[in-house]
Amino acid sequence: MKAAVLYERRAPMVVEEVELKPPVAGEVRVRIMAAGVCHSDYHHWNSEYGSILPLVLGHEVAGVVDAVGDGVAKVRPGDRVVLAFGHRCGECFYCLKGEPYLCAPPADAPLLKRFPRIWKGDRGINSFLAVGAFAQYTIVPATNVIPLPEDVPFEVGALVGCAVATGFGAVVNAAKVQPGSTVLVMGCGGVGLNVIQAAALVGAARIIAVDIRDNKLKYAEQFGATHCINASHEDVVSRVRALTGGFGADYAFEVISHPKTIEHAYESLRKGGVAVVVGMAPVGAMLTLDPLAMMRTSRVIMGTAYGNIRPAVDFPRMLELYRAGKLKLKELVSRRFGLTEINDAFRALDAGEVARGLVVFD
């Protein structure tokens, strides 16, 4: 198959012919139809987060089942599917507790020993987040495969795999935003726009969107923001105070990945408010928070990994919300790229040109 391989950080990915090992027991091979380009892919292309090169990036995918390993009854070749990324061993403390987004399999777990699945001659190539979606095919455990209804386009399905899951999950599963709330959303990219539309869906009264780009704030309004702040020339904390009569926001989501903007999110809260860290800050970054004020104001700061998503439970409900016209997902797709244009797709993401760019396959 063809895959886009990252051999060196910050260097262009190389689209080339590679070999994919066949699926073993419990696994599914999927022909990829659409793969979103997410800022986490960009982070791992750009910075040292511990991923080992060479690597095929991409983790937001929908496609068609192409082959199944022994013992897989859940899907058959020809089925349309959305993929969840990462591991869900089903046996660790967190999986048993219903928090599979925190899955911590033992180091010798078979599901970790599956890699590398992609080879170039005698050199193994890793698959980002156990998916590696910037390729014609991927192999994943059957537990990470969720059926995609016939009437939902592959592009929409792909977005459900990360941007929607992470944004919607942050609001609904992690923060559990209450109707009538004032919600601050910092960063209006593919994930942030889903935080905004999920907040609108659960009945937030005021949604204050922050970005440094006016085109992103336009998108934010289309997805339900009631107020916009351009942080390139406005002070976020004082603007939020002014917009809320000095009170502050009930919830503040940081969907950018900077320690400074996490601090601003926290400082924009009312007493008892909740700041939610969605973005992955650089390794080793630290926050400066006033612990005395934290105690006196009963404020909360929490993290959320992958929107605290349980794919088997949450993907179908997000797909149903799309089918019911309650989640705008087609509107997120602002540009399509072929696999050979992958480096341009990364440039467009970094330049802030797209709500979501997608790599599409014939």
> For Zn ion, which is the closer residue by CB, 164 or 210?
164
Give the binding-site size for Zn ion (rule: CB under 5 A): 3
Chosen from Zn ion, ligand COD, none, partner binding at 188 (C-beta under 5 to 8 Å by type):
ligand COD
**Contact between 188 and ligand COD (CB under 6 A)?**
yes
Comparison of 169 and 248: residue with beta carbon closer to Zn ion: 169
**Spatial CA neighbour of 164 closest among 189, 190, 202:** 190
Find which of Zn ion, ligand COD, none residue 75 binds, CB within 5 to 8 Å per kind.
none
Q: Rounded to whole angstroms, how far apart are CA atoms 342 and 114?
A: 26
Site for Zn ion contains 345 (CB under 5 A): no
Q: Which of 92, 95, 162, 228 is catalytic?
A: 162
Q: What angle do CA 344, 348, 350 make, to 5 degrees?
A: 115
> Contact region for ligand COD (CB under 6 A) — 244-252, 272-280, 290-298, 337-345?
272-280
CB 92 within 8 A of CB 103: yes
By CB under 6 A, tell whether 305 contacts ligand COD: yes
**What tokens does 114 get?**
């599956």
C-alpha–C-alpha distance, residues 215 and 355, integer Å: 9
Please select the residue that binds ligand COD; options are 81, 139, 162, 204, rule is CB under 6 A. 162
Q: What are the b/e assignments for 50-67, b being 16+ CB within 10 Å?
A: ebeebbbbbbbbbbbbbb
Residue of 323, 327, 357, 309 lying closest to 153 (CA atoms)? 323
Q: How far is CA 166 from the centre of its chain?
A: 5
The residue among 13 and 220 lying less far from ligand COD, judged by its C-beta, is 220
162 binds Zn ion (CB under 5 A): yes
Question: Which of residues 42 and 247 has its CB atom nearest to Zn ion in the complex?
Answer: 42
Q: Is 43 a catalytic residue?
A: yes
Listed in order, strand segments (DSSP E) in 103-240 are: 118-120, 123-127, 137-141, 145-147, 182-186, 206-211, 227-230
Classify residue 106 as left (phi > 0), alpha (psi -120 to 50) or beta.
beta
- Choose which of 5, 13, 34, 38 interacts with ligand COD (CB under 6 A): 38
Query: Does residue 40 bind Zn ion (CB under 5 A)?
Result: yes
Confirm or reject binding of residue 357 to ligand COD (CB under 6 A).
no
Q: How far apart are the first and last CA of the chain?
A: 13
Which among 248, 212, 218 has a CA at the least distance from the CA of 231?
A: 212
Instruction: Tell me the per-residue interface mask from 118 to 157 with Zn ion, x by CB under 5 A, - otherwise.
Output: ----------------------------------------
Near Zn ion by CB under 5 A: residue from 4, 15, 35, 38 = 38
Q: For ligand COD, which residue of 166, 226, 244, 268 counts as binding (CB under 6 A)? A: 166
Distance CA 158, CA 36 (A): 6
User: Per CB under 6 A, does 248 bind ligand COD?
Assistant: no
Catalytic positions:
38, 40, 43, 59, 162
Judged by the rule CB under 6 A, the positions of this chain that interact with ligand COD are 38-40, 43, 162, 166, 186-192, 210-213, 216, 231, 255-258, 261, 278-280, 305-306, 349, 352
